[in-house]
Amino acid sequence: MSENDGAAGLDCVVVGGGPGGMVLAHLLARAGLRVTLLEGHRDFDRDFRGDSLHPYTLELMDTLGLADGLLALPHFKATRFRAHTMAGSIVLADYERVRSPYPYVAIMPQVRFLDFLAERSAALPGFTLITGARVRELVIEDGRVVGVRWREGQQTRELRARVVVGCDGRFSKLRALAEVPVTDLGAASDLLWFRLPREPGDPPEADIDLYFGPRNYVGMLGGISDWQIGYTLPKGGFPAAREAGVEPIREFLRSYVGWLEDRIELLAGFDQTTLLSVELKRVERWWRPGLLLIGDAAHVISPVGGNGILMAIQDAVAATNRLVPALRSARTGATDVPDGVLAAVQADREPAVREVQADQVSVERRAKRAREAGRELIPGRLLKVVTALPGVKARGARSNSYGPNPPRLDTDLLTA
């Protein structure tokens, strides 16, 4: 049995309630459009590995009048991004040099960010959130995507709209259903994540740090009460690492992150770790008639540099700038969003995405060569020379804060 949910005149169905999908749905609803956000889980209360809100995102929230409320939630202000090498410590990016009302990266559990936006969006007349909706089918008519279907108990539910946007992550179901080919750019590493408690005596300057040794490095993200730590493995190296147990990880921490000595033993077993398979992929075409893919559904970003959330939110802004005028026109005349509008979103964002991914591919290849040679990934002495040049830290911070060619929201569109 199939039930059409009767959303005649629905402008957009957004599939996936991550940062990109949530921001897009909020912006479309702010523009006076009717949008339904489908999230496969029942809530957002799970352990994410992306907790970084960059100055671009905070400035966007400020533009929407949401920054004060968001930053009233518990968060940690990271002001520096540093690398620790055998040749010493280097500041790669100093966010306090960024000309912004928010010269820092806000480290906030992603669940808090998503819950906050969902609550604010619920107050908008055109916004609907449906949780537990795992999309299983695309509704296609005359070669055009016109909606989606999912199961709820014994019933099939169907929702139709003028455009469907897939924001459902690196393992996108919509991408697979649309049979969109994916190009693998060749990630060479995986990350094993775990947490250790933060203590009052920890180095005050520790914010977002990388610690490099031979063959491996760890990335550390400072939170309010703990450290989120990612330990690198060669791609596909999880079974061997599990066989070896946690002692090699603890030994690396003792050798290269010595100030954690008093709590390293709290990492007692592999059940305290989570494998994050590092992916670097993209689709050649982000759309097909009636369907647009953004965020990790269109281009999987490596966690190196913490750019995944930033890229997804910028995709949402670019999509808003293009979709709002098209959807308003569709209401008054044609019923479809033209293919050229969907292609324009990709054209707006693809150069920036390709630039970020090219940098990440370079890092992955360098990591693989260093691991095979048993040497340190980063030549610390060279980095010291480079980062001592005037303006390098500020440029590094700006690049990480905004990414290449960041889109500006057309705020005039938010006036319904």
Residue 352: what are its φ and ψ, rounded to 5°? -65, -45
Report the helix count and the strand count for the chain, using DSSP H and E: 11, 23
Measured torsion, CA atoms of residues 204, 398, 301, 375, in degrees rounded to the nearest 10: -60
Domain ranges of the chain: 2-76+104-185+279-360+405-414, 189-234+236-276
- Using the predicted structure, report yes or no on whether residue 385 has a pLDDT greater than 50: no
In the structure, what pLDDT confidence band is assigned to residue 384 with cuts at 50, 70 and 90? low
Q: What is the mean pLDDT of residues 28-36?
A: 97
Average pLDDT, rounded, for the chain: 88
Q: Which helix (H) or strand (E) holds 191?
A: strand 189-197
Percent share of the chain, pLDDT over 70: 91
- Using the predicted structure, report yes or no on whether residue 244 has a pLDDT greater than 60: yes
Q: State the Rg of the chain over Cα.
A: 22
Instruction: Tell me the CATH architecture of domain 189-234+236-276.
Output: 2-Layer Sandwich (3.30)
Whole-angstrom CA distances from 95 to 26, 81, 229, 391, 398 are 28, 8, 21, 12, 7
The residue to which tokens 């002495």 are assigned: 381
pLDDT tens column, 333-371: 767 899 999 999 999 999 999 999 888 888 777 777 777
Biggest CA pair distance of the chain: 68
Q: What is the mean pLDDT of residues 255-261?
A: 92
pLDDT tens column, 99-131: 999 999 999 989 999 999 999 999 999 999 999
The residue count of the chain comes to: 416
pLDDT tens column, 403-413: 999 999 999 99
Q: pLDDT at position 187, please? A: 82
Residue with the bigger pLDDT between 154 and 129: it is 129
* Token reading at 135: 């999309």
- pTM, two decimal places: 0.91
Q: Over the range 62-87, which residues count as b (16 or more CB within 10 Å of their CB) and which as e?
A: bebebbeebbeeebbebbbbbbbbeb
Q: pLDDT at position 119, please? A: 97
The CATH code that applies to domain 2-76+104-185+279-360+405-414 is 3.50.50.60
Q: Which long-range contacts (CB under 8 A, 24 or more apart) does 62-67 make?
A: 62/101, 62/102, 63/409, 63/411, 64/26, 64/30, 66/116, 66/117, 66/120, 67/102
- Using the predicted structure, report yes or no on whether residue 94 has a pLDDT greater than 90: no
Residue 335: exposure state from Cβ atoms within 10 A (0-12, 13-18, ≥19): exposed
pLDDT tens column, 38-93: 999 887 776 656 688 999 999 999 999 999 999 999 999 999 888 888 777 888 88
- Using the predicted structure, report yes or no on whether residue 383 has a pLDDT greater than 60: no
